[in-house]
Chain A
Amino acid sequence: EAQVTQNPRYLITVTGKKLTVTCSQNMNHEYMSWYRQDPGLGLRQIYYSMNVEVTDKGDVPEGYKVSRKEKRNFPLILESPSPNQTSLYFCASSLLAGSLGNEQFFGPGTRLTVL
């Protein structure tokens, strides 16, 4: 089944404890991205990747890191989480970046709480 998977689905952690949220897609998509969703603010793009080893900042990149060493995986790293990073996080992928017919497929989400 074609899908985007995220792990963990739920995470409660404490301020300053490094964490990684994994994202994997099995559709051989080139483009992957991360979003956070907050009440009243909607979905905002954190980082995106056009292909392996190619990443760039979205609208709210502060406090996050990403890497794209393999085409299928795009982990989101919070090196020193803070309470304002408590949010619902989504990973997404699409076949190609910068082209027509660029349908985005989303993962199920990761609910992160930072105490």
Chain B
Amino acid sequence: KQEVTQIPAALSVPEGENLVLNCSFTDSAIYNLQWFRQDPGKGLTSLLLIQSSQREQTSGRLNASLDKSSGRSTLYIAASQPGDSATYLCAVMGDSGYALNFGKGTSLLVTP
């Protein structure tokens, strides 16, 4: 069974810092990997989707990379802002294309 781990579980940084969130998975046979943002009590907002054949995706200040062979992905946030404070979730779609496995998330706090 696919296991997805996110490190760190919580992170607090001052505004303006660049930061990296980590996601690792145990089974490299994946279709894609998706990063989400979740605000307290709210739903999930998709940030970036990386297909298994891709190495990275970028959207604004966010950059996600994927190293399928080593079972790792990173989410890089540049010039962090207090509005970036949220929980960030990594989800891996297995190669059946049906089962989505989530990490438990990294809770990010960006202080002014």
Question: What is the interface of chain A, defined by CB distance below 8 A to chain B?
Answer: 31, 33, 35, 40-45, 48, 50, 56, 58-59, 90, 92, 97-109
Contact = CB atoms under 8 A, between A and B. Distances in A.
Nearest to B6: A42
Contact of B52 (A56, A97, A100): A100
Nearest to B94: A98
A42 B100 contact: no
Contacts of A56: 98
B12 interface: no
B51 A101 contact: yes
A95 B99 CA distance: 15
Interface residues of B, number: 28
Interface string B72-112: 00000000000000000101010011111111110000000
Given A42-B104, A42-B105, A43-B89, A103 B34 contact: yes
Interface in B27-54: 31-32, 34, 36, 41-46, 49, 51-53
